Chain A
């Protein structure tokens, strides 16, 4: 079974530029998550989708971050414009259902450096 795919793996941009990350979850998984992991910290949830609807985006900085999940499968996360503090690893995860005990499967992440 293929795992969660993410691209690109690394991205370096200047502040105020835009960037987009792509995620392909495990086939059949209804729930998709985007997490941000700053160096030395645990991952923090940015947004959660169930199929193509948003369940939780309470910690998403909506003035600069946006995300969509078209047709309930792939998802993109965009930052526009980027700030220095956005430097982090962006992790995508998926789970089969949206119940509180389902295992989440993580992709390898995209490491973003904002200069």
Chain B
């Protein structure tokens, strides 16, 4: 799986938007960009994924650069419950080896 690079930590104020960046300069044409997050003392949970176009769901938005070498997870209004480690992961849509290869992620702190 191709490597991703994320900042170790970020801070946000509650009810403010948060933009979590991810660089993946060696992404291949068949790689999807997935985001998972891990709340304290819980297993990771799926957030969102995309291939080329920007994506929106009830949890977040995913903005993908035109050259696909970077992406940004957007939380429109951060709450205290969004404090977690966010992982950006590339997954080959053409492959059957569907494991998730986690890096160290970005630890998001949300303050009042």
Contacts and interface: CB of A to CB of B under 8 A. Distances in A.
Contacts of A31: 98
Interface residues of B, number: 27
A100 B32 contact: yes
A91 B43 contact: yes
Nearest to A95: B98
B92 A100 contact: yes
A98 B96 contact: yes
Contacts of A82: none
Contacts of B41: 108
Nearest to A43: B102
A104 B100 CA distance: 8
Interface in A66-115: 91, 93, 95, 97-109
Interface in B18-73: 32, 34, 36, 41-46, 49
B32 A101 contact: yes
Contacts of B104: 40-42
A44 interface: yes
Contacts of B43: 4, 91, 93, 106-109
B-side binding surface: helix, strand, loop or mixed? Answer: loop
Contacts of B96: 55, 98-100
Nearest to A103: B46
A48 B98 CA distance: 9
A45 interface: yes
A106 B87 contact: no
B101 to A, nearest CB: 8
Contacts of A45: 99-101
Nearest to A44: B102
Contacts of A22: none
B73 to A, nearest CB: 16
Nearest to B45: A106
Interface of B: 32, 34, 36, 41-46, 49, 85, 87, 91-105
- Going nearest first, the 6 A-B pairs with the smallest beta carbon separation are A42-B102, A106-B43, A100-B95, A45-B99, A103-B46, A100-B92
